[in-house]
Amino acid sequence: MPEPLKLDVSKFENPVVESGYKASRFNIRTSDKNGDMLLLNTYSNKFIRVPKDQKDIVADVLRKPDEALQDHQAFHELVSRGFLVQKSVDEFRRAEMLHHETIASADELSLILLPNEDCNFRCTYCYESFAKNFMKDWVQDGVIRYLEKNLHKYKTLHIAWFGGEPLTAMPIIERLSEKIMELCKKHKVMYWSSMTTNGYNLTLNVMKKLLSYNVLNFQITLDGIEETHNCTRKRLDGASTFQRIVTNLRNIRDQIPNRTFKIIVRGNINQEVLKVIGPYTDFLAEEFSQDSRFMTHWQPVGNWGGEVISSEKLCEHTDMIGHMLAAAEKGIDFSFYRRLMSSKESVCYAGQRNHFIIGSDGIIYKCTIAFDDEINHVGMITEKGTMHIDEDKLALWVTGHESTDSGCQKCFFRPSCQGASCPLMKIKHGQAPCPPMKVYFKDYMQLIAASPRNGVEELNLVEDGVPS
């Protein structure tokens, strides 16, 4: 009997260090308000806080890793978390490989479905035209048949319910969800779902139903306190909406024991909301800071295409960020932004190969911002479940990105956004925009470090940094 083959894998798992170390180009460093060091790497996704009395040790190791004692605890802590990499490592190639994996990932199919393109609200800043409404029966059939034919190719299916307002079309959501879950079970494909909703119809019973359909992530908007919210987010007939949404959220908070879902409470911040940011912060802290299922996201209001908004009412990140830090100290959870810092997570869904939006009339889009733009109409789904895609249009959305932008190549944020944070802007203007997360990255690091449940690791070196 021949001897069994002995494979020596150690040289791959524990490569011999011959070339020395260097600081990763994907490190970014700042300080929190106490003077502690905050250090994050966008490739390894590690985020640490170093106490101020130890930060000089860490800073020295980062600056001159070859001069650091290699049995020094600080050295090992930084290597194990990817803040130091071997000199022989080509981080450009690592980032390039990450980009290939991200854009062409074949593990997950992600569909945004529009069960109703009309809405029961008329928010003043909304860009949607509401020319269409409920998803046609044949389109629903087409979605189901498409999944019947294609689901076996994937490990995971993600459905995002969007609109218009998806909760005005609950029967469609029910019909599709039941069929989708049946298909996922049959093909042993993991399934999860998310929803962007104004929250007006998100009653307790509806919430329980949605949870039974694996809808686990929700984004619901409250634009400040009642007075400001009711100015921007009115019902179709002009009626106020704040109280009903807040009642729904309170009921969910108090009467749903399930801990697996997350609700992102989004606030669109304009100058009017900034005037009441204190009471708004107090309201959010009182209502949601004690429940880890609720997170907060503040978006500065730009010109999104709704009613003409005078420029003095618009808001910039710089107007907002100080207030966010103050809000975090009151216990408001901004850890939502932590995910956006991680590798791949600031790549827009529109830039990914296996991500499509299916409209109520069967048009296939890539982007939820530009429904009226022909460049965004990449195909059609048929009743028989075939997706006819214009591959050249699709290519505009899913190619280029970092590889055609010299500014992206050397950027510390490259692993996170890969030059694909907004393919629409790149198509329109020829250059990938830098997302606000990157532009204000150190501010967001401080914000996350100040937030509860932030996932920042506290690094504590032993007494003199040398292991005993």
Partner 1 sequence: MTQAEKSVAVSVRERIVTVLQDLGIETDLENELDLAEQFESVTFINAVLDLEREFGISIPDELLNMQIFASLDHTAEIINQLLLEQT
Interaction of residue 106 with partner 1, rule CB under 8 A: no
Other beta carbons within 10 Å of 193 = 22
Q: How many residues bind partner 1 (CB under 8 A)?
A: 15
Sheet holding 190-196, edge to edge: 294-300, 262-269, 215-221, 190-196, 156-163, 108-116, 355-358, 363-365, 377-381, 387-389
- Segment interacting with partner 1 (CB under 8 A) among 121-129, 134-142, 187-195, 299-307: 187-195
Interaction of residue 260 with partner 1, rule CB under 8 A: yes
- Segment interacting with partner 1 (CB under 8 A) among 124-132, 186-194, 351-359, 442-450: 186-194
By rule CB under 8 A, what string of x and - marks binding of each residue 139-168 to partner 1? Answer: -----------------x------------
**Which of 188, 311, 374, 392 touches partner 1 (CB under 8 A)?**
188
3-state secondary structure at position 221:
strand
In one-letter notation, the amino acid at residue 265 is V
Nearer to partner 1, 129 or 292 (CB): 292
Smallest distance from the beta carbon of 157 to partner 1, in angstroms? 9
Instruction: Compute the radius of gyration of the chain from its Cα atoms.
Output: 24
DSSP 113-160: EEEESS-SB--TT--------BPPHHHHHHHHHHHHHHGGG-SEEEEE
- 164 secondary structure, DSSP code: S
Smallest distance from the beta carbon of 202 to partner 1, in angstroms? 19
**Which of 216, 231, 326, 425 touches partner 1 (CB under 8 A)?**
216
Distance CA 160, CA 82 (A): 33
- Segment interacting with partner 1 (CB under 8 A) among 141-149, 188-196, 395-403, 423-431: 188-196
In one-letter notation, the amino acid at residue 284 is L
Distance CA 423, CA 111 (A): 17
Smallest distance from the beta carbon of 151 to partner 1, in angstroms? 13
Interaction of residue 93 with partner 1, rule CB under 8 A: no
Nearest to 365 by CA among 348, 347, 344, 383: 348
Interaction of residue 259 with partner 1, rule CB under 8 A: yes
Buried b (16+ CB within 10 A) or exposed e, 294-322: bbbebbbbeebeeeebeeeebbebeebbe
| Binding to partner 1, residues 360-419 (CB under 8 A) | none
Interaction of residue 192 with partner 1, rule CB under 8 A: yes
**Which of 185, 384, 388, 410 touches partner 1 (CB under 8 A)?**
185
Smallest distance from the beta carbon of 210 to partner 1, in angstroms? 12
Nearer to partner 1, 156 or 386 (CB): 156
CA distances (Å), 184 to each of 149, 178, 386, in order? 12, 10, 19
Interaction of residue 212 with partner 1, rule CB under 8 A: yes
Sheet holding 457-458, edge to edge: 27-31, 37-41, 47-50, 457-458
Q: Are 357 and 364 in contact (CB under 8 A)?
A: yes
Interaction of residue 275 with partner 1, rule CB under 8 A: no
DSSP 352-399: STTEEEE-TTSEEES-SS-TT-GGGEEEEE-TTS-EEE-HHHHHHHHS
**Which of 257, 310, 312, 391 touches partner 1 (CB under 8 A)?**
257
**Which of 258, 290, 318, 460 touches partner 1 (CB under 8 A)?**
258
Nearer to partner 1, 144 or 181 (CB): 181
Nearest to 132 by CA among 349, 363, 404, 366: 363
Nearer to partner 1, 187 or 323 (CB): 187
Nearer to partner 1, 317 or 339 (CB): 339
CA distances (Å), 224 to each of 284, 320, 335, in order? 9, 13, 19
Q: Are 210 and 174 in contact (CB under 8 A)?
A: no
Interaction of residue 97 with partner 1, rule CB under 8 A: no
| Binding to partner 1, residues 279-298 (CB under 8 A) | 292
Nearer to partner 1, 189 or 381 (CB): 189
Smallest distance from the beta carbon of 155 to partner 1, in angstroms? 8
Per the DSSP assignment, residues forming a β-bridge with 358 are 113, 364
Name every residue whose Cβ is closer than 8 Å to that of residue 283 and which is 6 or more positions away in sequence: 225
Distance CA 17, CA 168 (A): 60
Nearer to partner 1, 74 or 184 (CB): 184
Nearer to partner 1, 153 or 388 (CB): 153
Smallest distance from the beta carbon of 45 to partner 1, in angstroms? 13
**Which of 45, 105, 110, 214 touches partner 1 (CB under 8 A)?**
214
Smallest distance from the beta carbon of 201 to partner 1, in angstroms? 23
- Interface contacts to partner 1, rule CB under 8 A: 108, 156, 185, 188, 190-192, 212, 214, 216, 257-260, 292
